[in-house]
Amino acid sequence: SQKIEQNSEALNIQEGKTATLTCNYTNYSPAYLQWYRQDPGRGPVFLLLIRENEKEKRKERLKVTFDTTLKQSLFHITASQPADSATYLCALEGASGYSTLTFGKGTMLLVSP
Amino acid sequence: ETGVTQSPTHLIKTRGQQVTLRCSSQSGHNTVSWYQQALGQGPQFIFQYYREEENGRGNFPPRFSGLQFPNYSSELNVNALELDDSALYLCASSAPSGATDTQYFGPGTRLTVL
């Protein structure tokens, strides 16, 4: 069955460092991969989308890579800030004709001052 | 803020009861998707509505049903509530443009079943 795995342990880093979150998937051929941020008790907020034929995408301090051979995406936040503390969700979307997302469980990021 | 609103914000029901959750999509969006998010889990796709028709369904039983109205707002109905239905219910709207669609989530409705 389709499976999406994200680091289950919270990631603790110091302010100013680069945070790297991992998303691995099996039994899936996504056309697109998306990353969302979710704060406690709130809905997910879209951050970045990367297509299967793209290797890397950047937006301000965020960078996403997508390796369809390894079936893995890495999400980087450079110069991290305490305000970046949240849960980050990886979501896969197939080319099914309608857009629905299959989410991982998310990784909690804690950035300490 | 995404412009997607959901009501109510919190709800407490007892097992066996029925519940209706509501969602107003972002202006210009004709597609609404519903997700269930249990504590510590990622959102799970329930179903999607496009122009008032169901356009895809996840692995949820028929007691989960929905509607979309001409103004593209939507309802999620759950009958015969079970304890495991306790979760955050998220609505997301999008405007299909052929390739892929960023989904804009509302704040969710927290449902507790006792």
B71-92 confidence digits (pLDDT tens): 889 999 999 999 999 999 999 9
Give the CA diameter of chain B. Answer: 42
Q: What is the mean pLDDT of residues B49-60?
A: 90
Mean residue pLDDT of chain B comes to 92
H-run or E-run covering B7: strand B5-7
Q: What is the 3-state secondary structure (H, E, C) of B45-112?
A: EEEEEECCEEEEECCCCCCEEEEECCCCCEEEEECCCCHHHCEEEEEEEECCCCCCCCCEECCCEEEE
Check whether A44 has a pLDDT greater than 60: yes
Contacts of A31 in chain B (CB under 8 A): 100
Residue B97 pLDDT exceeds 70: no
CB within 8 Å: A49 and B102: yes
Q: Closest chain A residue to B50 measured between Cα atoms? A: A98
Q: Is the pLDDT score of A111 beyond 80?
A: yes
Contact A93, A100 (CB under 8 A): yes
Distance CA A23, CA A80 (A): 19
- The sign one gets for the Cα dihedral B91, B96, B98, B102 is negative
What's A84's DSSP letter? G
The size of the A-B interface in CB pairs under 8 A is: 67
Contacts of B56 in chain A (CB under 8 A): 96, 98, 100
Per the DSSP assignment, residues forming a β-bridge with B74 are B23, B68
Residue B8: its pLDDT value, please? 97
Nearest beta carbon to residue B33 from set A89, A96, A100: A100
Nearest by CB to residue A100, choosing from B4, B45, B90, is B45
Average pLDDT of span A99-111: 91
Do residues B31 and B54 touch, judged by C-beta distance below 8 A? Answer: no
Mutation test of the interface with chain B: which of A99, A101, A102, choosing the one with the most B Cβ atoms within 10 A? A99
Chosen for mutation from A46, A100, A103 (greatest number of chain B CBs closer than 10 Å) is A100
